[in-house]
Structure 1
Amino acid sequence: MTRTRTLGIAATGSALILALSACSSPTTPTASPTDEWAELAAGETCSQLREENPDLVGQTKTNALNPHTPGYETISADDPNSYEGFDIDLGNAIGACLGFNVDYVPVGFAELIPTVSSGQADWIVSNLYATEERAAGGVDFVSYSKVFDGILVASGNPKKLTGIDTSLCGTTVALNKGYVEVPLVEAVGPDCEAAGLDAPTVSLFDSSADCVQAILSGRADSYMNDINTVMRYIAEHPDDLDSAETVMLDYEIGIGIPQGEHAFRDAVAAAIAQIQSEGIQQELAARWKLESSEDAEPTILSVG
């Protein structure tokens, strides 16, 4: 069963009070309330975290997300005013543990960090790779999952791509603005030129869906993203798309928290650790068919 829900749990003394919230704005849809995470919230660790972080209890934290990544975060097919996916459920579980509600503001991928660092949103739970360069934009990261990148190509891999290597020479790579793969692909250029070949062309888009359409229309030869995302697009277009390669990148997926919000950041890290210890993160990965998903011990990346 898939879920598109938002839960807030507030604690007053020893009592748990379900604090349910909804947002009617069509531009910032939120999910329906549920008690799915009541057992997690009632546990000793989460109860203690709420006692240690009373300022979070009963609050609403706005998640800046780019809702165009199947399996992670998309607009619900059943309700255009709701979001669904792994990141939606994970954010709700964290909120339940710490006692706050979650709502959303959808932005372009390249605007995720500026939206949070400028105070227009409180955090980012949107399949975002944690890097020092991104952290320098004004956020700390709480990493929680390892990164396996896939290379999406047309059926049969007509360009015979083998990775982020010189097989990309002379091809066009569709990528989201701000993706970590952009400099990786650009770095292949000198090797191509040394071999007397053209450097790869990077074609930038605002969403994963646009990148995929570029391949389907013949305007691009490949697209790179989390392998689970790549496989979801292949499942949607089995006759037209294929996977060329899976690449292990030296990154982890992280949640972005504004620099200086150390109490919130550390509470999120502790909540994720508990969610992982109860097996919830892997349960969510299975729910959303993220088959290549591996927990990473929560760690902090801060350059501030």
Structure 2
Amino acid sequence: MAAGALWRFEAIGTVWEIATSTPLEPSARGEVERCIATFDAVWSRFRTDSVVTALAPDGGDASVPVDAALMLGAFAELSEATAGAVNPLVGATLAHRGYDAGYSFVDRGPVAAPAHWQELLQWDDERMVLRGPATIDVGALGKGRLVDLVLGVVAAHVSGDIVVDAGGDLATRGAPVRVGLEHPYDPGRAIGVWDVTDAALCASAVNRRAWGDGLHHVLDARTGAPVRTIAATWAVASGTSSDAMRADAIATALFFDGGAEVAARWNVSWVRMYTDGRVEWSPGCRAELFSRTANVEG
């Protein structure tokens, strides 16, 4: 990306970088901040005043943005494809393993998320209803969706090249961006690079948000156990207004059987690395990998 303006700030527990060809005016920055705050006030299970926190003890219903239907609809597809491994009611499961609102990192053992979650959680374009106690966690795709929303705000204020990067989950418009695929066991190395143009790239790895004896944030909702076979995933999506959400969702789904199949349906390219060092990639993947091990046939 050509030299321009860079705005760096912290929000939702990560560092954001927004690069633009021309500087964002203060009013545009304020709109970005309000966009993030509005999203966080609905979906953060780490806030005492959020909608999902208010619903968790006994359930209930709440007015929500249209993103609820978009995100939870995507969860329904992911859940079906992974036989229930991906589940938006995994919040209490994560908390029980120590990834709770207070970041206690005290493991109280595995607890499965509600298997029939669509009987408990229902939604439309305006409201969300939770029929009983449960903790919603949209971490499987929520940050990607927020990247999409922020990109939309920025694009309404500036023309030219744009990169919105939220802790490594990013979306671009304009000039291509070359992204290194960080080795999950050695942050000083990359297993490859990926040129991203007018698209989104999201990643997930077991070395991020890890604690205790082999615990990390990627849990199988069916058992409450952390994933052991996949170390890291990367996904690239383009062509829609929800590119980063779809890339984020696939980066999560690829830790489980069925993830590659839903990626093919959504036309999302991907790379994943196993804990034994093997690397797989999707048909037609344009990433430049330094160790090409096994292509997954389409």
Provide TM-score, normalisation by structure 2.
0.29
Provide TM-score, normalisation by structure 1.
0.29
Q: Tell me which protein shows more helix as a share of its residues.
A: 1
RCO greater where, 1 or 2, for CA within 8 Å and sep 6 or more? 1
Rg (Cα) greater in structure: 1
